[in-house]
């Protein structure tokens, strides 16, 4: 993946915060509301003190796949560069989250972070 091509990133948690965006990407992202169908929201305890410091929260939201039509997660879809996606990977510590590609209710394919304890 090129570091300048556009990617879509769906956030249901701390990456929607302007303070986290500025700390992670050096800018405020522009996003549009969207929904992730077939998932439900849960919480995940964060172990990395730098992530807790950046977000101000020891527990972050997480999503868990259910496959049920009645389950969905509301969030924001952001257009980011490949480099910014790599910066998000660092923020979303690989020990805590993994990035997967999903289809949002809008029909857009986007990346979303899923807590590693959740599976897919």
Tell me the CATH number at 36.
Answer: 3.10.490.10
Q: How far apart are CA 79 and CA 57, in angstroms?
A: 25
Question: Do residues 8 and 111 lie in contact, with contact meaning Cβ atoms separated by under 8 Å?
Answer: yes
- Model confidence, pTM: 0.83
- Number of domains the chain contains: 1
Question: Do residues 105 and 37 lie in contact, with contact meaning Cβ atoms separated by under 8 Å?
Answer: yes
The domain of 60 spans 6-115
Instruction: Show pLDDT as tens, one digit a residue, over the chain (120 residues).
Output: 445 679 999 999 889 999 999 999 999 999 999 999 999 999 877 777 876 777 777 877 889 999 999 999 999 999 999 999 999 999 887 777 899 999 999 999 999 999 876 444
CB count in 10 Å sphere of residue 84: 22
Tell me if 120 is assigned to some domain: no
Q: How far apart are CA 104 and CA 92, in angstroms?
A: 20
């Amino acid at each position: 993946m090129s570091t300048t091509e556009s990617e879509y990133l769906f956030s249901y948690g701390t990456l929607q915060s302007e303070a986290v965006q500025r700390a992670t990407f050096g800018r405020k992202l522009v996003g549009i509301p969207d929904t992730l169908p077939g998932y439900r929201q849960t919480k995940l305890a964060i172990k990395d003190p730098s992530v807790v410091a950046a977000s101000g929260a020891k527990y972050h939201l997480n999503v868990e796949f259910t496959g049920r039509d009645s389950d969905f997660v509301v969030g924001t879809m952001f257009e980011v560069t490949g480099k910014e996606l790599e910066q998000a990977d660092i923020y979303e510590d690989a020990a805590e989250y993994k990035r997967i590609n999903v289809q949002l209710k809008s029909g857009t394919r986007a990346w979303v972070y899923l807590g590693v304890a959740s599976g897919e």
